[in-house]
Structure 1
Amino acid sequence: MKFFIFLLLTMITGLASAVEPASSKIPDNLDERIKPCIICHRDADLIDRDAYFPRIAGKPAGYLYNQLRNFRDGRRFYQPMAILLENLSDEYMREIAEYFADQPYTHPEPVVPALSPDETKSVETLMYSGDPERDLPACSACHGEALMGMQPAIPGLLGLPHAYLAAQFGGWRNGGIMRGQIPDCMSEIAKKLTQEEVNALALWLPGLPVSGQPAGADALTPELAQRCRTILSVKEVSR
């Protein structure tokens, strides 16, 4: 608990430089200000394969910006993030999002998942074909054929730790991540998956090599854009 409090205070102190003038010994720039973020989200040389926190470098700026606003405004719940962001402006969060979006997409080497041939086939079907009988679109229909996300606001699925993927699916299925967002298409989709399918997906994805870029926004069908319109919307920042 003491370490958690120390970590949180360190993060808050770092981002506070957005409001208060920086020390003359420390450059007042975004490279310095985002260092508290890297404590958890890791720099390129500190990648932890089993970390709970996701890597955010290289993800679409619209997605990152939406998540920052969701944490700050209580639509997504994780207390350390909520506290860290509670006094940040939309403009400053947009800067942070664009900064990380421009960074290289760092990731560990893939690990071959411990799945049976039947489990692998089932996961690949969900990933690339979906299941029309359960109204489940293919994961690739939203996250791109390369599974690297889609501009401006859909994240990639590759290079994420197994622990984080499993926790996210659990949160969507139990209503513990997003609050008051209608439609919440990932919650809707996750609840239609079996626990066995969730477990297999969380093991299969970290076994894929990371390559490619987020797909363009025109790759998303109008039907899916309407289904997930809340997630896709990116609030414009008034300048």
Structure 2
Amino acid sequence: MSPARSQSVGQPPDTMAARVEACTPCHGNKGEGTSDVYFPRLAGKPAGYLYNQLLAFRGGRRKYPPMNYLLEFLPDSYLQEMADYFASQRPPLPQPVTSEASGDVLRRGEALVSGGDAAAQIPACASCHGPGLTGMEPGIPGLLGLRPSYVSAQLGAWRYGTRTAKAPDCMQRVAARLTEADVTAVAAYLATLPVSENAAPSPKGAYALPFSCGSAPN
């Protein structure tokens, strides 16, 4: 189905923007996010990534009852339309926060994000999410503008296997090597990063990934 649909005189517009208004209480108008620290921004993320997450919620691989229920009977084509819509939105990113974390914690976060930890076999976040941390088409999301609580929760979910992705599950592989202190450091540091007006994902193939990833096939 096309996002643009016919409408009768006097009826509200039947557009994808109108149809996804059910998403706005949690994810904000146009998917820009809300004040809730656990609901992520959807706007501007790669359509392939968003589509994969919608499939995961519909199929139960990601478990959150409201999302599982809302998506249960929606077909693949409609989930793709939803993903395409939110991927096309470009509201401004939220400004960075002033972190209460110590300097040592932020320095550890910067080291992991920018350079990884070779001794622990942890690649840099930037090696997968891009030099500017804006992600890459079609399936790698950007990391700018995310709140520390959300990042911590997602990394924790991967560490303990409550969030999974297509095999090979590269995020589970990385997160399993992080300590609790590492998770806190990465989340705190990412939230302090400045945002740019152009935070669009890099084109597919713009850089090589450090290993195979099922959610971002070559």
Q: Same fold by TM-score, threshold 0.5 exceeded? A: yes
83 and 233 in structure 1: CA distance in 2 versus 1, 3 angstrom threshold: farther
Give the structure-2-normalised TM-score.
0.87
Unaligned 5+ runs, structure 2:
1-6
Q: Partner residue of 1:231?
A: 215
Following TM superposition, by how much is the alpha carbon of 1:23 offset from its aligned partner in structure 2, in angstroms? 10
Check the 8 A contact 1:51/1:164 in 2, yes or no.
yes
Trace 1:145-224 onto structure 2 (pairs within 5 A). 145-178=131-164, 181-211=166-196, 212-221=199-208, 223-224=210-211
Percent of aligned pairs with the same amino acid: 45
Moved more, 44-53 or 105-114: 44-53
Of 89, 97, 120, 1:111 maps to 97
Distance 1:167 1:102 in 2: 26
- State the alpha-carbon separation in 1 of the partners of residues 137 and 144 from structure 2: 16
Deviations 1:156-196 (A, max 9, x none): 111112221121111111111227x4221111211111111
Q: 33-42 vs 98-107, which deviates more?
A: 98-107
Q: Give the number of the structure whose residues are more often helix, by fraction.
A: 1
Assess if the C-alpha contact under 8 Å between 1:55 and 1:106 holds in 2: no
User: Could you tell me how far apart the structure 2 residues matched to 1:209 and 1:22 are?
Assistant: 46
C-alpha distance in 1 between matches for 2:200 and 2:139: 13
Total equivalences in the alignment = 210
The 1:194–1:223 alpha-carbon spacing in structure 2 relative to 1, beyond 3 Å, is: closer
AA aligned to 2:46 is: P
Structure 1, gaps ≥5 residues long: 1-20, 235-239
- Which residue is 2:83 aligned to? 97
- Residue 37 of structure 1 pairs with residue 23 of structure 2: yes
1:232 is aligned with what amino acid?
A
Residue 139 in structure 1 maps to residue 125 in structure 2 = yes
Determine the C-alpha separation between the residues in 1 that align with 2:31 and 2:107. Answer: 34
8 Å contact from structure 2 (residues 33, 39) kept in 1: no
**Are the counterparts in 2 of residues 50 and 161 from structure 1 also a CA contact under 8 Å?**
no
Contact 2:139 2:216 in 1 (8 A): yes
Q: How far apart are the structure 2 equivalents of 1:195 and 1:116?
A: 15
Structural RMSD (CA): 2.4
In the TM superposition, 1:45-56 aligns within 5 A as 47-56=33-42
